[in-house]
A = this chain, B = another copy of it.
Amino acid sequence: MDIVRVGICQINSVVGDIRGNYQKIINYANTAKEKGCHIAVFPELALCGYPPEDLVFKKTFLKQNEEYIRKITEEVKDIILIVGFAHFENDIFNSAGIIYNGKIEGIYNKIFLPNYGVFDEERHFTKGKDPIIFKTKDFSFGVTICEDIWYPEGPAFALALAGAELIININASPYHIRKWSERENMLSTRAKDYITSIVYCNLVGGQDEVVFDGHSFLIDEDGKTIGRGKLFEEDLLIKDVDISAIREKRLKDPRWKKRDLMETPFNVKEYHIDTNFKNNSGVIITKEYHMPSVEEEVFLALKTALKDYFYKNNFKKGVIGLSGGIDSSLVAGIAVSALGKDNVVGVFMPSMFTSRESYEDARKLAENLGIRIIDVPITGIYNAYIKELKPLFEGLPFNSAEENIQARIRGNILMALSNKFGWLVITTGNKSEMSCGYATLYGDMAGGFALLKDVPKTLVYKIGRYYNELNKGDIIPERIFTKAPTAELRENQKDQDTLPPYDILDKIITAYVEEDKSKDEIIRMGIPEEIVLKTIRMIDINEYKRRQSPPGVKITERAFGKDRRMPITNRFQE
């Protein structure tokens, strides 16, 4: 046999739902088998979900992992399964079980543990020692886990030198913009360097602050991508690997002849699997794949993250404060895409500062989306506060105190609806506001999920445009794009009274937050010093607000939250 058929099972595991994930793994494995696959591959920690965080410190959690990985071996026969799970053997490992015919043939423990960005794997796992190569009478393969393959002379290299013709890399690689392209480029180089075919199997779905994009793929020994899984959806990608082509290429390759000159610190262990496979190259339907635009992938990331936050936490309906502005309009639109229009409720909460335009735009949006809109005016409530606070505030000018009272009344109303009807509040603040603290803690920041938390305002507009194109119409009314953004917390207020223009602001945020540029470097980008200093100061001093914000999903190279861990108490100034 010289054609190995691989089923890449890009599944959406739920953290902690070991029984549910197990069931899903069995179902996919059986389908892959029915379609003639010799190997079915599942993502990193597919059995327990990723990241399990401190759950791995629970003995019962580890026990369930072992129990269900063993159950899997009993249920599916005549196909090699590669399944990620949390493995306990004196230490806790991030592992892949290599399973065949009722037996765990080997367990590979991840060697390179990422501990940067959103990752805490050095906290949770012990690093493995050596790669394992599996030899069947037809072909040889090795398994690596995510970070492992980002090191050119890591375990995948050792496996290739030891003769692996197929490298199976299982992943839980969180999405950020265009990351799939980075992965494909890097792995194309690896495949050519190692003269192997590489299976890249990634998790899919949202988990708190991250979303996995799937986009699994198979690369041949020429570095060419010969199949891709869906973006942000579960998928079973089936592809054939031509082992004889790999062998032939190695025979001819001048570098391969010199491989005994190369060294690796790893000691590859060899296992034999007694398979009895037949060629099975019936026609595979090749799926269409189109390269998404940035707007499309971000839209899908947000939609998936939101949908999974609801579904995995057992919420059905969401509620959104509609202001008539772009942020809440886009959030409502994405929520309708993710949850369905019957599961989205908009709440319009006008005050004495709310304009006619806001009222019209919010109403028009709700109408276009086909969602229910509730009006709860706040002026009466606001006056009740002011009456009680009068003895204390008398003679003092209207300032952020009065502004925030309004925002917090709205937060209270949305939460009351949440508490009464079991709806989850989706908050609408974007990354530009989160950066500068241009938001009211417990006010517009109140809610369960902050959908746009990592989306800069300039990108919010672009995704809004994309949303209208996607839905073939002005779902988000045109005026919402063109009018000046305002919080409407005082007379004639505009965002740009307080913040620099959003195109400049977003440039500073990218440079300072995502790229760790210094103030001098940002000034050298051509942005006026005064604006740079004012903005980075706002970013620095508002860490306390972000610390109490709801989770939102990472879509950029560096999000707030686990991805950027700054002290609140912090007197550092450049």
Residue ID in chain B nearest A446 by CB atoms? B442
CB contact under 8 A between A61 and B572, given known A208-B567, A387-B380: yes
The reply to whether A55 and B566 form a contact with Cβ atoms under 8 Å apart is: yes
Residues of B within 8 A of A387 (CB): 380
The reply to whether B16 and A567 form a contact with Cβ atoms under 8 Å apart is: yes
Q: Within the assembled complex, what's the spacing in Å between the Cα atoms of A518 and B548?
A: 30
- The 8 A CB mask of A41-64 against B (1 = contact, 0 = none) is 000000000011111011111001
A393 within 8 A of B: yes
- The 8 A CB mask of A90-120 against B (1 = contact, 0 = none) is 0000000000000000000000000110001
Residues of B within 8 A of A71 (CB): none
CB contact under 8 A between A416 and B385, given known A116-B123, A567-B53, A571-B17: yes
Residues of B within 8 A of A516 (CB): 57-59
A570 within 8 A of B: yes
| A401 vs chain B, min Cβ distance (A) | 4
Residue ID in chain B nearest A18 by CB atoms? B572
The reply to whether B412 and A442 form a contact with Cβ atoms under 8 Å apart is: yes
> Which one of B207, B549, B574 lies within 8 Å of A60 (CB-CB)?
B574
Residues of B within 8 A of A411 (CB): 408, 442
Residues of B within 8 A of A55 (CB): 566-567, 570, 572
Q: Within the assembled complex, what's the spacing in Å between the Cα atoms of A376 and B61?
A: 49
Task: Report copies per complex.
Answer: 2
Residue ID in chain B nearest A21 by CB atoms? B571
- The 8 A CB mask of A353-391 against B (1 = contact, 0 = none) is 000000000000000000000101110110111011100
Give the total of A residues in contact with B, Cβ under 8 Å.
Answer: 84
A280 within 8 A of B: no
> Which one of B120, B385, B420, B446 lies within 8 Å of A401 (CB-CB)?
B420
A340 within 8 A of B: no
The reply to whether A404 and B400 form a contact with Cβ atoms under 8 Å apart is: no
| A48 vs chain B, min Cβ distance (A) | 8
Residues of B within 8 A of A565 (CB): 53-54, 120, 123
The reply to whether B389 and A569 form a contact with Cβ atoms under 8 Å apart is: no
CB neighbors of B among A6-22 (8 A): 14-18, 20
A198 within 8 A of B: no
Residues of B within 8 A of A61 (CB): 572
The reply to whether B416 and A442 form a contact with Cβ atoms under 8 Å apart is: no
| A296 vs chain B, min Cβ distance (A) | 25
A482 within 8 A of B: no
CB contact under 8 A between A393 and B420, given known A16-B572, A123-B115, A380-B387: yes
- The 8 A CB mask of A400-417 against B (1 = contact, 0 = none) is 111011001101110111
The reply to whether A568 and B313 form a contact with Cβ atoms under 8 Å apart is: yes
- The 8 A CB mask of A508-550 against B (1 = contact, 0 = none) is 0000000010110000000000000000000000001001111
Residue ID in chain B nearest A550 by CB atoms? B548
A67 within 8 A of B: no
Residues of B within 8 A of A60 (CB): 518-519, 574
| A239 vs chain B, min Cβ distance (A) | 31
Most buried by B among A55, A392, A402, A420: A420
A441 within 8 A of B: yes
A419 within 8 A of B: yes
| A194 vs chain B, min Cβ distance (A) | 28
Which 7 pairs from chain A and chain B are nearest by CB?
A16-B572, A401-B419, A17-B571, A384-B384, A401-B420, A442-B442, A408-B412
Residues of A in contact with B (beta carbons under 8 Å apart): 14-18, 20, 51-55, 57-61, 64, 115-116, 120, 122-123, 206-208, 308-309, 312-313, 374, 376-378, 380-381, 383-385, 387-389, 392-393, 396, 399-402, 404-405, 408-409, 411-413, 415-417, 419-420, 441-442, 446, 448, 516, 518-519, 544, 547-551, 564-574
Sample of 8 further A-B pairs with CB below 8 A, known A53-B567, A58-B572, A409-B412: A54-B565, A54-B566, A55-B572, A393-B420, A399-B420, A401-B416, A404-B416, A411-B442
